[in-house]
Amino acid sequence: MKQLITLSVNGESYQVAVEPSITLLDVLRDGLGLIGAKKGCDLGNCGSCTVLLGGKPVLSCLLLAVEAQDKDILTIEGLAENGQLHPLQQAFIDYSALQCGFCTPGMLLSAKALLDENPQPTEEEVKEAISGNLCRCTGYIEIVEAILKVAQSNRGAE
Amino acid sequence: MSTSNLGYLLTLPRFNYLAPKTIDEACSLLDKYGGAARVIAGGTDLLVSMKKREISPQYIINIKAIPELDYIHYSHEDGLKIGALATLQSVASSSIVKDKFGLLATACKKVGTPQVRNMGTIGGNICNGGPSQDTVPSLLVLEAKLKLVSLQGERVVPVDSFFISPFQTALNQAELLTEIQIPTPPPRSNGCYQWLTKITAVDETLVGVAVLMTSDSAGGLCKDIRIGLCSVAPVPIRARQAEELLRGKKIEADLIEQVAQVAADETRPRSRANYRRRMTSLLVKRAINEAWQSIR
């Protein structure tokens, strides 16, 4: 039986009619056209479906859409503000931290959540924060570097 | 390993969705629907099973709206009380858990990935009841108790009687795990959790060893030792024979070697048995040394 639910995504409110058995990932992609979150493994192993729920990284493929009501959801589409790339997005470009880009939305959101909570992470802490986001292209080195560079420039700005 | 009969598509089977707001409401629903219902907390184990079509419950009861199930309370007399809905991340990062029950914080931090820890709950990890649940060896050596609630009332079950066989626990169909109760360890105690994974750093545990040790006031004798193991038997176990060897004795390298070997002999691994036994012995030795040295 379909239920009418309200989802708050990237600061906007969306009303959707969903079966309880549909995941947040499917609603984002097929219902709302927000295809930044990816369906990689659909089983919670790869992290390419990562979105932020209340500021915390979660796997949208393992969340029922009905469970995500009354929460603030941030997808990659909400990272840039007023057409301006987030410093992490710019750093990923500047430091070649992406190739095919499939893992990148999830990776950026995990990185954002890390820096929001821990603005000056160690290299170990960065690696731990992205340990739930698999990348098959880069080997992770540039990704870690990009995140550390953003942290560094934040420190410089203080 | 079962696969969805839809090939590569991992859509969930359909179900009726219920979201009780109180423990009583949840228990009524469990009583009413029994075996046709499953509780969802973090969903990181349940939804994966459902996607693989291993189970297809008719009713899913989402308990996350029940506010009184998410807490971490500590007092010296009553010990640590953790609500079943406390996320693995909240337990792993809790300063009181890190300070006084460090091995449990380590174990919770080991589970899954940051995303899984933000969603998954300690109650869910315990109720999944698998042989490799990382939180259980620590709960075994801390001699934790589990509060189970139903319409008939509540009962408190020690962790070491909770696990019956792989993925089968003492939780009956109409019951809800609400609280994990952990007594304050005796003075001059400390513990640790050591593990090896199957392949990657965020993978399933291949061998998990938790140790809690208590020293006598002079600091020379091992007054008490408890060893908890996961992934090396059908359920997580205590290595009680190994513990007996060391209890009340002076810590010596040769004795630790023996204790580690006896612990390995107590295991009943199903697969990669030889390697698991050898690694049990190695990790028990390391865990005893780490725990002993950290007692203050």
Is the CB of residue A131 less than 8 Å from the CB of residue B201? yes
Residue B189 belongs to what H/E stretch? strand B189-197
Instruction: Assign residue B234 a region (left: φ > 0; alpha: ψ between -120 and 50; beta: otherwise).
Output: alpha
How many inter-chain contacts (A to B, CB under 8 Å) are there? Answer: 79
B47 closest CB neighbour out of A47, A53, A62: A62
Tell me which of A78, A110, A139 is where a domain ends: A78
CATH number at residue A100: 1.10.150.120
Q: Quick check: B207 pLDDT over 50? A: yes
Find tokens 């995303």 and name the residue.
B115
Q: Examine the domain organization and report whether B27 and B80 are in the same domain.
A: no
Percent of chain A with pLDDT over 90: 96
Tell me which of A78, A97, A116 is where a domain ends: A78
A7 contacts chain B (CB < 8 A): no
- Pull the structure tokens for residue B185: 């360890």
| CA atoms of A115 and B89, how far apart (whole Å) | 17
- Nearest residue to A79 (alpha-carbon basis) of A33, A118, A110, A102: A110
Tell me which of B163, B182, B201 is where a domain ends: B182
Q: Examine the domain organization and report whether B205 and B104 are in the same domain.
A: no
Tens of pLDDT, residue by residue over A35-59, are: 999 999 999 999 999 999 999 999 9
Tens of pLDDT, residue by residue over B254-289, are: 999 999 999 999 999 999 999 999 999 999 999 999
CA of B138, closest CA in chain A: separation in Å?
22
Is the model more confident about B59 or about B7? B59
A55 contacts chain B (CB < 8 A): no
Q: Examine the domain organization and report whether B120 and B134 are in the same domain.
A: yes
Query: Which residue stretches of B130-188 are H helix?
Result: 135-141
Q: Examine the domain organization and report whether B74 and B153 are in the same domain.
A: yes
| CA atoms of B221 and B244, how far apart (whole Å) | 14
B114 closest CB neighbour out of A3, A21, A57: A57
CATH number at residue B131: 3.30.465.10
**Domain-embedded: residue B9:** no
Q: Examine the domain organization and report whether B141 and B196 are in the same domain.
A: no
Tell me which of A22, A43, A78 is where a domain ends: A78
- The mean per-residue pLDDT over the stretch B204-230 comes to 95
Q: Quick check: A158 pLDDT over 60? A: no
Q: Quick check: B296 pLDDT over 80? A: no
User: For chain B, how far is it from start to end, CA to CA, in angstroms?
Assistant: 47
**Comparing A70-74, A78-82, B201-205, which segment has the lowest mean pLDDT?**
B201-205
CATH number at residue A9: 3.10.20.30
Would you state the pLDDT for residue B2? 47
Q: Kindly identify which residue of chain A lies nearest to residue B109, measuring between CA atoms.
A: A128
Residues in A closer than 8 angstroms to B52, CB to CB, are 43
- Pull the structure tokens for residue B111: 């589970």
Domain boundaries, position B250: 189-293
Is the CB of residue B280 less than 8 Å from the CB of residue B268? no
- Pull the structure tokens for residue B253: 């390298």
Would you state the pLDDT for residue A35? 98
| CA atoms of B149 and B156, how far apart (whole Å) | 9
Is the CB of residue B152 less than 8 Å from the CB of residue B63? no
Domain boundaries, position A99: 87-157
- Nearest residue to A129 (alpha-carbon basis) of A41, A30, A56, A33: A56
Across chain A, mean pLDDT equals: 96
Q: Examine the domain organization and report whether B80 and B117 are in the same domain.
A: yes
- Pull the structure tokens for residue B110: 């080991």
Would you state the pLDDT for residue B205? 95
Q: Examine the domain organization and report whether A96 and A62 are in the same domain.
A: no
Task: Tell how strand B237-238 and strand B163-165 pair up.
Answer: unpaired
Q: Examine the domain organization and report whether B175 and B81 are in the same domain.
A: yes
CB contact under 8 A, A42 and B16: no
Q: Examine the domain organization and report whether A15 and A61 are in the same domain.
A: yes
Question: Is the ipTM reported for this complex over the cut 0.90?
Answer: yes
Tell me which of B166, B182, B198 is where a domain ends: B182
Is the CB of residue A9 less than 8 Å from the CB of residue A75? yes
- Counting the structural domains of chain B, the total is 3
Would you state the pLDDT for residue B5? 54
Tens of pLDDT, residue by residue over B106-136, are: 999 999 999 999 999 999 999 999 999 999 9
Q: Kindly identify which residue of chain A lies nearest to residue B57, measuring between CA atoms.
A: A21
Q: Examine the domain organization and report whether B178 and B193 are in the same domain.
A: no
B58 contacts chain A (CB < 8 A): no
Would you state the pLDDT for residue B1? 44
Q: DSSP for A59-92, please give it.
A: EGGGSBGGGGTTSEEE-GGGTSBTTBPPHHHHHH
CATH number at residue B20: 3.30.43.10
Q: Examine the domain organization and report whether A45 and A93 are in the same domain.
A: no
**Domain-embedded: residue B204:** yes
Q: Examine the domain organization and report whether A65 and A95 are in the same domain.
A: no
- Pull the structure tokens for residue B170: 């003492």
Would you state the pLDDT for residue B199? 85
Tens of pLDDT, residue by residue over B91-111, are: 999 999 999 999 999 999 999
Find tokens 């696990």 and name the residue.
B163
Q: Examine the domain organization and report whether B234 and B176 are in the same domain.
A: no
Tens of pLDDT, residue by residue over B141-198, are: 999 999 999 999 999 999 999 999 999 999 999 999 999 999 999 999 999 999 999 8
**Domain-embedded: residue B10:** no
Q: Examine the domain organization and report whether B273 and B233 are in the same domain.
A: yes
Would you state the pLDDT for residue B203? 85
- Counting the structural domains of chain A, the total is 2
Q: DSSP for B239-285, please give it.
A: -HHHHHHHTTEE--HHHHHHHHHHHHHH---SSSHHHHHHHHHHHHH
Q: Quick check: A15 pLDDT over 90? A: yes
Q: Examine the domain organization and report whether B76 and B52 are in the same domain.
A: no
Q: Examine the domain organization and report whether A92 and A74 are in the same domain.
A: no
Q: Examine the domain organization and report whether B31 and B95 are in the same domain.
A: no
| CA atoms of B30 and B230, how far apart (whole Å) | 29
Please report how many Cα atoms fall inside a 13 Å half-sphere around the Cα of residue A90, on the Cβ side. 11
Q: Quick check: A108 pLDDT over 80? A: yes
Across chain B, mean pLDDT equals: 95
The whole-model pTM stands at 0.95
- The mean per-residue pLDDT over the stretch B225-243 comes to 98
CB atoms within 10 A of CB B156: 10
